[in-house]
Every structure is written in structure tokens, then in C-alpha cells.
Amino acid sequence: MPHTADMRVEAWSPTAEGCIGEAVRAMVESFADTSGAAVVGDRAYTVTAESDEDLLVSVLEEVVYRMDVDGEIPLDVEVGSIRPAGAGLGLSVRFRMADAGTAVPVGAVPKAVSLHDLHMRGGAGGWTCRVTLDV
């Protein structure tokens, strides 16, 4: 990214849910080697939003929140099916969490999710997403 305090994550998958999961994995891999990290448990998260892009942002913001508040980072993520929820969309996510202090730092830790140049679209070849993270 042109700005030194930004990092872009791009992901793709056959499904929207898979794309969100791959974005979480790419985000974590950009700043931590979790191969030796200590598992602390599973955390479930449910989100409602107006669009697929808003679901993506919310899930990534949850990762930032868990790092800041609980000192945990996802080792893995399971993303449920996107479903209608009120006037928008709903999504359930389960994170397999690790103690962030037991991961090896390999890059700048994201502090926030930016809406600048946000992209999440489906097409004949599957889904792609792109998000900018403030580091």
C-alpha cells in the first residue's frame, strides 16, 4: 500500500463464506506465525449486517477486538452459511483461538479495518474480496 500504515489483504474462494474465512487466515498470517501457539479454546461470534462487504468487515473487526481485549488470535476459522436476518444478512463464525503471546511476530499487527477500497464480489469464477487494514 502507498501509505506505510496500511496493509491490503486479498482472498478468494468458491463461496462468500469461504472468502471471509480466507481473509481471516490471510490477515493473521500477515503478522503472526501461529504454528507453535498455545490453543486457548473456541469462540463463537454471530453478526448481522446489510451487505456481504459489511459481514467481511465485521468478522475482521472481531479478530482485531479479540487481539486487543483478550490477547487471542485465530488459529482457524469456521464460517457458517450467510442467511437472511431481518432487513440484512446474518453469519455465524467459530474461531479456534490461541494466546497471541505464544505466536511469533512476523509483521505489523492490524489495529483497525478500513472501508477504503473495500471489495467483495461473486462471479462465475467464485468470490473475491479485498480489504485494507490499518497497522
Using the structure block, give the residue that is written with the C-alpha cell 480466507.
Answer: 22
Rounded Cα distance between 16 and 4, Å, is: 29
Q: 87 Cβ partners below 8 Å, 6+ apart?
A: 50
The pLDDT tens digits of the residues spanning 60-107 come to 999 999 999 999 999 999 999 999 998 899 999 999 999 999 999 999
User: Between the CA of residue 84 and those of 26, 46, 49, 91, 108, what are the distances in Å?
Assistant: 27, 13, 10, 9, 36
**Looking at this protein, which amino acid is placed at residue 68?**
D
Rg, the chain, Cα only: 14
The pLDDT tens digits of the residues spanning 54-64 come to 999 999 999 99
pTM above 0.85, yes or no: yes
